[in-house]
Amino acid sequence: MRKTLLAALLGAMLLAPLHAQQAVQVPPAATAPSAPLPDDGIRTEATVVVTGEQPGPGLWLVRNGAHDLWILGTIKPLPTNMQWRTQQVDEVIANAQEVIYEPSLVVDSDIGKFRALMLLPSLVGVKNNPDGKRLDAVLSPTTYVRWSAFRDRFLDRDADKLRPMFAADALWKAAIKRSGMSDKDVAKAAVAAAVERHHPTVTLVKHTITVKDPKATIKQFKAAQIEDMVCLEGTLDRLGQDMETLRMRANAWAQGDVAAIRAMPLNDQYQACMEAITESGIGRSLGMADAMRRLQGEWLAKADAALSTNTTTFAVLPMRDMLEPGGYLERLRAKGYTVIAPDE
Query: Could you read off the pLDDT tens digit of each residue along the chain, which spans 344 residues?
Result: 443 333 434 444 333 332 222 332 333 333 333 233 344 444 444 678 899 999 988 999 999 999 999 999 999 889 999 999 999 999 999 999 999 999 987 766 555 544 544 444 445 557 888 888 999 999 999 999 999 999 999 999 999 999 888 899 899 889 989 889 998 889 989 999 999 999 999 999 987 777 677 677 666 666 655 667 878 888 898 887 778 888 899 999 999 999 999 888 766 656 667 666 666 666 666 666 677 678 889 999 999 999 999 999 999 999 989 998 899 999 999 999 999 999 98
Specify if 50 maps to a domain: yes
Round to whole Å and give the CA distance between 134 and 222: 15
**DSSP label at residue 161:** G
Q: Are strands 201-203 and 82-84 parallel, antiparallel or unpaired?
A: unpaired
166 domain-assigned? yes
For residue 226, the enclosing domain spans 7-22+45-340
Q: At a CB cut-off of 8 Å and minimum separation 6, what does 61 contact? A: 68, 69, 70, 71, 338, 339, 340
CA-nearest of 315, 262, 322, 295 to 72 is 315
| CA atoms in the 13 A half-sphere facing the CB of 131 | 7
d(CA 204, CA 191): 13
Q: Which residue intervals of the chain are DSSP H helices?
A: 7-13, 18-21, 87-95, 113-118, 120-126, 135-138, 141-154, 164-178, 186-198, 214-223, 229-241, 243-255, 258-263, 270-278, 281-285, 288-309, 319-323, 328-334
Dihedral sign computed on CA atoms, order 325, 328, 329, 331 = positive
**Burial per residue of 230-241, b for 16 or more beta-carbon CB atoms within 10 angstroms, e otherwise:** bbbbbbbebbbe
Residue 311 · residue 43 · CB < 8 Å: no
In-domain check, residue 66: yes
Tallying the residues shown for the chain, one arrives at: 344
Contacts of 172 (CB under 8 A, 6+ apart): 5, 235, 238, 239, 269
Is residue 1, in this structure, part of any structural domain at all? no
- SS3 state at 6: coil
The tally of domains found in the chain comes to 1
On the 0-12 / 13-18 / 19+ scale of CB atoms within 10 A, 291 is buried
Whether residue 110 is contained in a domain is answered as yes
In a domain, 12, yes or no: yes
Q: Select from 1, 6, 12, 3 the least CA-distant residue to 170.
A: 6
Residue 180 included in any domain = yes
